[in-house]
């Protein structure tokens, strides 16, 4: 299995480490040719407006959107969640979304950098809680009917999926726990 990691900006190296712990090969994705031959893609946290701009200027946005529409499994964390959401609140007017999962998210929905926090969340398929790191995290404000909520924090969805598209409003790559990456890989 070969998993691409979007490497335009953000915590892509930490995702590569987590995926390596799961025993899979990774490839950094920076241009459309890097999508060739990958079985799945991870979209890291970072700054969503910058990542949207870089996806467009690199010529990667449209080929990536096509691959996702064709069924590419994708896991977006924090900014990756924002980029995959159908609707983004408090984004810049020129910010683009891949609209791959039927959710509405608010950028920095939990507040600014100083409002960042950590919390243990319960995920039904995991035996023990997962320690989640929320940094300027997006907040889910609407979930479409086909979206499955996998975990919530204070009754707000923080980990969800629709088909082969997974999103988390936190940063699983910033913990030493690769269980969420493993959970995603089971669906690839």
Catalytic residues: 78, 171, 173
Helices marked H in the chain — which ranges? 12-21, 48-57, 61-69, 79-84, 179-185
Q: Which of 70, 78, 81 is nearest to 35 (CA)?
A: 70
In degrees rounded to 5, what are phi and psi of residue 18? -60, -40
Coil vs helix vs strand at 62? helix
Q: Say how far apart CA 54 and CA 3 lie, in whole Å.
A: 20
Q: Which of 132, 133, 135, 91 is nearest to 113 (CA)?
A: 135
Q: Say how far apart CA 175 and CA 50 lie, in whole Å.
A: 24
Q: Show the beta-strand stretches assigned E in the chain.
A: 2-6, 25-29, 40-43, 73-77, 85-89, 101-106, 117-121, 130-134, 139-143, 148-153, 156-162, 165-168
């Amino acid at each position: 299995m070969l998993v691409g990691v979007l490497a335009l900006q953000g915590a892509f190296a930490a995702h590569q480490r987590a995926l390596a712990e799961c025993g899979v090969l990774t490839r950094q994705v920076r241009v459309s040719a890097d999508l060739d031959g990958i079985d799945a893609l991870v979209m890291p946290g970072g700054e969503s407006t910058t990542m949207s701009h870089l996806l467009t200027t690199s010529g990667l946005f449209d080929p990536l959107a096509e691959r996702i529409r064709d069924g590419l499994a994708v896991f977006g964390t924090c900014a990756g969640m924002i980029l995959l959401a159908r609707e983004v609140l408090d984004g810049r007017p020129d910010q683009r979304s891949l609209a791959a999962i039927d959710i509405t998210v608010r950028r920095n929905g939990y507040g600014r950098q100083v409002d960042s926090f950590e919390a243990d969340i319960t995920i039904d398929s995991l035996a023990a809680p997962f320690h989640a790191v929320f940094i300027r995290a997006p907040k889910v404000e609407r979930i479409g009917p086909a979206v499955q909520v996998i975990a919530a924090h204070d009754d707000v969805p923080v980990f969800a999926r629709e088909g082969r598209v997974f999103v988390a409003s936190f940063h699983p790559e910033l913990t030493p726990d690769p269980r969420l990456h493993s959970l995603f890989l089971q669906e690839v």
